[in-house]
Every structure is written in structure tokens, then in C-alpha cells.
Chains A and B, each alone.
Chain A
């Protein structure tokens, strides 16, 4: 008989993944776009280019900030401190959808599974600004 613990383990990703592995879906990014515009664009710009009061969410400086960290780190930062006028106002699902939209704008590839909304799952996905050589 398979113990529940074994089943849990079987669900956890066994290979290390990065933002280049298709970690969100196009559908999810499309869901996240209007949420971004309503909640985030006011400071971060409708092109994610940032402004005087908030940094860009795309481009070299943004990627340098998170390179080597995980999506869980970025997700928790969003979840706990954004939007600045009311942190924690968005649901985990909304945060995940917004993050998916951000990943799509940063030109990380979409895939078949949606971006998780659990921090511990997102901590398994590395943010790497440089595309690995094995992917084309």
C-alpha cells in the first residue's frame, strides 16, 4: 500500500527548474494582465518600464536584482509588500497571475502548467536571466 507521504513526494518536482522551462501558461498571463494594469501599472508603468516612484519590472536592472534567486523570493516580495498602497490585498492566485504576466513580458517561455501559487513550490524555480545553452 502506498503511504500518503510517498504520494506527496511523487508530486514534488524532482528535477531543478528555472524560468526557462515553461513555468506559466499564456492563458494565465492573459489573466494577470488586467490585474497588473489595475493594481501595479500606476507605479510600475503600463509598459513595466517603471517610473520615478517604482523600478522597472523588465530589463537588465530588474533581472540583475533577481538573478540567482527563486520565483518564490520574487513572489513573496510581491505578495507581502505590493501594491504599496495596500499590501496583501491581492489573493495568491492574483499574485501568481501577475507574476505570470511579468514573466511573459520578460520573454520567458510559456508552457503547459500554470505558475503555482504556493511559495514553497515557487522556491523550486530558479530565476536565471541568462538562457541556458541547452534551450533554443
Chain B
């Protein structure tokens, strides 16, 4: 193993200006990018860990993140990198960066930014999802974005800020953003959780905001995307996800609403085709997730996949997945770059998983859909002040891989009695297929539209994986994440938006995201006492929706067809232990969490469970499962003390393969755990 370079020598190295030379080429045994590579594959061609030995995996090392910030975190979502013999990760409540020995977990260095009030006011807190690595073969740099929205450049060997980047290693992302972040730099709402992406000599950063279900205002900061020079931190380009006046798409925001509407950022993972010099931006929802009355028009580039030039940020093509968005169908994960063969012809494609359970597949050079995505007529709603798109694009192939509408047939049906009770609950709501619009919430009904495949449905930020050997996408989806969407009028002191998410009869509250300073100056909600409308999406503790609750699907991109689909996750305790279902033989149901990521290797699809169970086979905890990637058959499982909360990764050091996964949740604070095979002779 490389000798670790200690402080003096590394300082000397960091003073040497970076010389452009042979491009750094990561090895297959490394994990140099959040998604393994910048194509978003989450794939490594490794098979030392395989079906014959997965269940024998042991913990090689583990590290809690409790003390890397001012308090323990219970939501560790990071995926580490492993490059050049060092493992790098974000960790702890202040989103520090740690460098570890990948064989032992020994802490080599840690870097944390103390951001004071600016960090405390950030819309997206805790340790985030990861970081990025750049090297020219001589020098290595780590890039990450703090909760307070500053892009930091560290020397990969020492963890010290690189003084020649930005201002002493820092680019303040609240500045130079073609907008004035309001109300001020300290408390202005903008941040990010995802890892920046480094492609060639550019580092690209998006933006995130608070939850958009009950925003205080129709006005918000905007989520532009920027590319910076990895050497100097100079801003190379900016892409306006909400067009400025005179730019293409400005007129899709009628009544001048592009001026004040915000959000519409790229909060999830960006991918890049380095050879073609093309960047793929998955854009989120505009301000106000479920009511668009203050932003009439199709709202480009909200919920749009945009392809821009790596050097200039100039738009090459785009495809809007949802017109005039009303369902919080943020494009939630990395667009996967896949070189496939369709009808005998090679195609450079991009495949986009989604909350709404569609995998949208395009030619990534031209933007043309590989299989038709025609505009289909959808139900138009009648919320006062709202405008609706009469059609939405719906892919013909591949078919939806998770539920995206709600019908009686989707309801629990273990017994006829349970189905009847579920129907009673569902009768209080408006039901329909994908793109059924939200309704005003009425005490006498409907309380709202019952939806799946919206805010927390389908595939979320962990995204999917891609196997370049077989041209197959593997993607986890929540198949039972039910979301009632009802709208209530917001009093002026609560919001200047006419309608926000709520239930008739209940107090109107602003749903703020984590990290907001909810102090003395937050407006007091009106005193509307709850007289009804507390409807639980369950029947005797059992989920309202029938299994499978969560799935992993294999989709062949050459054919545009689902190859296999399995329920992922042990049947929840509440179902397994239910008196009502005693004696029934219920196949494994999977679990309804939305934030599970997959890892693909030469032979396996690996994913951990997102929920805790206690079974005859293991104490309270969750299992890390491995499936045969050709068939979906489970071939092994190992115990984790808590649910998987960050997507797994893998690497080889000194001939030994490791899998590292972040676990946390409930009573268990964040921990990175590394698994490896037992040493010979054990």
C-alpha cells in the first residue's frame, strides 16, 4: 500500500501548481465518483464477492459519525469514494470530510467547516450524499459543498484547503449566481445535499431548497446550475433552469412568473459524457409543489431532462417529463448513460428513472426518445386559479416499473374484510391513474387526491444502477408510498400562495424543511381546530396498499422490456406478526421505503433494506441482500444493525474486495460499515 504522505511533504506537494498532463484514469478496483463513474452506473466489474460467499461477509471495520459534528446524525446518506488507496466520505452533522484507510477504517484526516448561523439556517443539513474527486495524475483534490452552500476544494492527501482555488479553497455559491440570494447571504434559502460532479477540468454544482409542499411565498431563489474550473474555482458557465427574459423558454412562464418563481434546481446527481462533452441535468419542481396557479404555463425547465455542453453550459436539447408540474415529480436521480443496441443499431442512450415509475430513454446526443413518448390526454382539475396541461408525455416502452396511480385494485386484499375497510378509507379521496390532479380538500370529501409515484413514490435520490455488460438497468422503487394531496386556502399571514398542501379541518401549517430556524419571527398559524380529516393510510396497522411494497426491477434497454422484478425487503413486522393474518402464507412483501440504492457488480445486484425488522433469523436490524443479476433470485444476505440509509459502494485494495454502506435510522445514529470476506484460514 502506498505510504501515506504526512503533513510536511504534502504541504510541499500542494504548493506545486497543477500541471496538465496525462489524464487521470481511475481503475476498476476504485470508486472515484459518487455513482462509481460520471455516467451514473453504480457498477463495478468485481466478483470476488459473489453468490457463493456473500452470506459469509464479515464486518471489516466500522466508523460512527457521531463526533464529526456537534451532535449525532440519524440520517447518514453518504456514499464514500475510494481512490488512490484512500476512502473519502462526508460525515457528521456539520458535513465534515473524512479520509480513512480503506482496509482498516483508520481516520487519516478530517476537515470540517464551521459556518455558524449560515450553516444553521441551511435548507439541507447533515452530512449530505457525498463528494467528488479530481486528479491530473500528480495532484488529487476533493470537492464538496457545505450545508451553508460553499464549494470547498481540499488537498486529497492532507485535507487542507487548496489556497489557489477560489478564495483560499472556497467558492461562495451564494455569490456569482446571476441572482441576488434573498433575503441575505446568511439566511437566504439555497443549499444542496448531493455530491458535485467532476468531469475533465470542470466541477459542476446544482442547488436545492426546502420542501415545497407549503412554501411561504410564490417567490423564491432560483436553482441555476454552474460549472467551475477545478484549478482556479472560476465560474465557467451557468445554466438558467428558469430562463431569463429573452432566453428560450421564458414564455412558458406566463404573466411574467419566471421573474419571481424559484426552486427548479438540480438537487440530485448530475451525469456527464466526458467523450462527447455533454452534461445531463435532472431538474426538480418549481416553487409550490402541488399548486401552480401563480406560474401558469408549461414551466420550462421544471421537471425537464436538459443536456448542456460541458464547456459552455449551452443547452443542446431538453425533454420535459411533466408539463406545468403539480405532483412534486422532481427528477430525483442521476440520468444513467448507457451504450445500447436497439433494433441492431448501436445507440448512445440516457435512461432516466423517476418517482412516477417510468424509465424515460433517449438518444443522449439528439434527445430523441428511443421508444415513443406520446402526449396523452389527462384529467384536468378544477382548483380555483389553477391552469392545467391537458396532456402529459407517457412512455410506451419500457412499461411502468412501479405503481403511479391509485385504484381500488391497488388496495390491501389479504382478506375481503381488510379490502372493504380500505375501500372505506379510499372513498374519502379522489382516485385515478398517473397525473390525476390534486383537489381542494373538503371535509365532506374528497379530502384530496390519493396518489402514488409522486412526492415520495417510485425511485428517489439513490436512483438506479446500470450493467454495461448486459445493457440492463436495475432500479429500486417504493411501490406503496401513498401520498394524499389535498389543497387548502392559505391565510395571507401563512403564505402568499392561494393554495397549499393541507387537509380540510386541520390547522394550516407551513411544512418547512429540516434546518430552518423556526424562531420567534416565524408567523403563527391560524387557530383552526381539527374537527376531522385525520385519516391514516393504514388498516389495523397494515399498509393501505397491497404488496409488493418495494421492488427491484431489471429492465433491458436493448429491448425496452422488464426482465424481472422482485419484492425487496423482508415483510414488515407489523404484517408478519399481524393477528388478522395468522396462518396465511404471504410471500415476501418488500418494504415501502423510498431511499434505497442498488449496486451492480459482475454477478450481483446488492441493496440493503430501508426498514428495521426483528425476525427469527436476526435481532432488530436490516439485511444487506444480494441477488443474481440475471434472474433476481436472492443469493445471500448479511446483517446490518440499522437500515441502509446511503447507497452501497465497492472497491478492491491489496486484492481484497470490500463493500461499504451507510446505515442509520430510528434509535441508531449514522455509521459507515465495511464488509469483506473472512480471511483465509478463519
Contacts and interface: CB of A to CB of B under 8 A. Distances in A.
A46 B541 contact: no
B538 A53 contact: no
A73 B518 contact: no
Contacts of A93: none
Interface stretch (A2-10, A20-28, A83-91): A83-91
B72 A85 contact: no
Given A52-B455, A66-B666, A66-B667, A47 B503 contact: yes
Interface in A47-66: 47, 49, 51-55, 58-66
A46 B509 contact: yes
Interface string B514-525: 111111000001
A51 B213 CA distance: 10
B304 interface: no
Contacts of A114: none
Given A37-B507, A51-B455, A65-B665, A42 B513 contact: yes
Contacts of B535: 47
A109 interface: no
Interface string A31-50: 00000011101110111010
A102 interface: no
Contact of B572 (A38, A58, A64, A81): A64
A53 B122 CA distance: 14
Nearest to A74: B667
B543 A73 contact: no
A66 B541 CA distance: 15
A65 B503 contact: no
B74 interface: yes
Contacts of B74: 77, 81
Contacts of A63: 541, 573-574
A53 B213 CA distance: 12
B577 interface: yes
Contact of B511 (A51, A65, A69): A51
Interface string B588-620: 000111100000000000000001111000001
B125 A84 contact: yes
Given A64-B572, A64-B611, A43 B514 contact: yes
Given A65-B666, A66-B666, A81-B72, A53 B573 contact: no
A104 to B, nearest CB: 11
Interface in B566-586: 572-575, 577
Nearest to B622: A64
Contact of A85 (B120, B511, B537, B667): B120
A46 B666 contact: no
A13 B612 CA distance: 30
A135 interface: no
A111 interface: no
Contacts of B514: 43, 53-54, 84-85
Contact of A61 (B71, B511, B591): B591
A58 B614 CA distance: 18
Contacts of A68: 614, 620
Contacts of A64: 572-574, 611-614, 620
Contacts of A58: 536
A46 B506 contact: yes
7 contacts: A41-B511, A42-B510, A59-B538, A60-B611, A67-B614, A86-B519, A130-B577
The 6 A-B residue pairs with the shortest CB-CB distance, nearest first, are A65-B666, A60-B574, A42-B512, A84-B514, A60-B572, A64-B573
Interface of A: 37-39, 41-43, 45-47, 49, 51-55, 58-69, 73-74, 77, 80-81, 83-87, 129-130
Given A60-B541, A61-B612, 20 more contacts: A41-B511, A42-B211, A43-B211, A46-B506, A47-B534, A51-B211, A53-B514, A55-B665, A60-B572, A60-B573, A60-B575, A61-B572, A63-B574, A65-B666, A67-B573, A68-B614, A84-B125, A86-B120, A129-B574, A130-B577
